[in-house]
A = this chain, B = another copy of it.
Amino acid sequence: MRIAELSRRSGVPVATIKYYLREGLLPAGELTSPNQARYSDDHLHRLRLVRAMVELGGLSIAAVREVLGALDDPEKSLHKAMGTISAAVAPPDLGADDEVAHEQVRAFLERQGWVCRPTSYAFKALVGVLATAREVGHERFADLLDGFAAAARPLAEADLGYALGAGTKDEALESVVVGTVLGDAAMAAVRALARRELSGVRQAEETPAQPCSDT
């Protein structure tokens, strides 16, 4: 198909597709002449993936490029690709650090029996969160971590099972991306639903019954 059809089928403007081509988020089409190229269904699929990451995941163009790089690297293990993706999905910030927070994370990992170097991305991200919590006067926040871990374990099993349920390795890698990006968004929404349900119930215990109100 030509670029106009790619645009029509994906709903992405031609100018934006050209931009993604320039930025390396989409591979160039197959040139049939100096100024004609053909695009395949793979392009359409990749384009949709890019849009999902940008719009739903809120990733920057640079982050998307990094994720796609991990996805396209045939050398990369699933394990490594997952790390790259996790790092790309989260804000690049980290900023805050703090002795106590560092120790809280160390102790948490020990309790969970998890092994992880303090230099890894996920470790630093967690230290950043706890340090920030302490800055705003919520050192108690660290108490929630074990609950998070209890919830995260089965989720990780599901994620990984989902990824491994795919056929080829390429599909598995893509499942990791989808599982991470969409998974984070879905988890946030489901958490909001659960909280809403629970606080609605608590509220109903005090006030006359009323179905879940809009917000």
Residues of A within 8 A of B (CB): 45, 48-49, 52, 55-56, 58, 77-80, 82-84, 86-87, 89-91, 93, 95-96, 109, 114-117, 119-123, 125-126, 128-130, 132-133, 135-138, 140-141, 143-145, 147-160, 162, 165, 175, 178-179, 182-200, 202-203, 211-215
Contact = CB atoms under 8 A, between A and B. Distances in A.
Q: Specify the main secondary structure of chain A where it touches its partner.
A: helix
A77 B135 CA distance: 26
Contacts of A140: 162, 165
A6 to B, nearest CB: 14
Contact of A114 (B90, B157, B178, B193): B193
For the complex of A and B, list the 9 residue pairs with the smallest distance between their C-beta atoms, beginning with the closest: A83-B215, A151-B151, A156-B194, A86-B192, A152-B194, A125-B189, A122-B192, A126-B189, A147-B158
